[in-house]
Structure 1
């Protein structure tokens, strides 16, 4: 009888330990997610995810990239060959989430000179849609950011709208030649020249990671 009691207690301890370990692991799920890239441009692009070259998309094409680790994700797209950067975005991917990243035709590809970059960060608590004038240019989750390179120099009318179509913020931002202007939705905007100490080297937008090896630099 004594042996049976000890054996029973031993099994109970093992079961309790296994349950605790299982519970601990379930608190931090890290399953993969998925990213779908839709190329709305009239030219091909190259796609990087977290610094890794993922492939090339033709004009109007779309592709799904599987098994993207959950957590912070850095997306970058550039013109094929020496076409230069198209867009970049940083966001957090939830386990098993499918995120669709759309590339919008808001860039002036015929302008190889006299262009600048606008970096937009959503500092509001809601997901918003970014507009250049009346043209939609993508959605930004709270805390997410995106760079729009090669915008024609001049005054740019931008706005952010929530899911109900209400304007959350709107600005007229000056885009200078070879400069990086920033707009934090809900907080304001400022322009930084290419000589700004924080924009040394490739003039990478503040708060964004530098392009991966082989990726086109953020230059106009």
Structure 2
């Protein structure tokens, strides 16, 4: 798709877009493993000069904000796509599977709190929270989701899956999917003991400052 890659663009615009993608992919790899890494490590991983990186980003904070915003936008796209699924339980579980496969939460879990968020980023956080709440409510009202699960429990699930890292990417995906399948069974509205509580309080697990 032309809005996701340099394909469809020509000349300088296409080249700049591809360079941005290379830099963001390198930054993601570097900062997910070590949020304290210097920006020079990103340039080295991307194979570009440090000046090329600074032409696009004012500094490390700017790059971190862009990475987290990219992750939040993916979360939002997947949640919005899930709303088209008529079955609330299928919408929620399909959403979780796609977000785990995309490794969205590794970014926010590792990078949130390491820089000052912008109003744009905080708006994306609020939108993501709103969509997660709606997905949970629909799944609960449809009878698929147990009644004592709250939207903030999704953060625990996603962080738990993001923490799983194996020797290679393929094995990591396999193990994350297995772990998620076990957790989804725990979400199901079947007879069983109540979850140990209390549930996460609204905002308790947020890594972002509250909007004024």
- TM-score, with structure 2 as normaliser: 0.23
- TM-score, with structure 1 as normaliser: 0.23
Which structure shows the bigger proportion of residues in helix conformation? 2
Whichever of the two has the greater Rg, that structure is 1
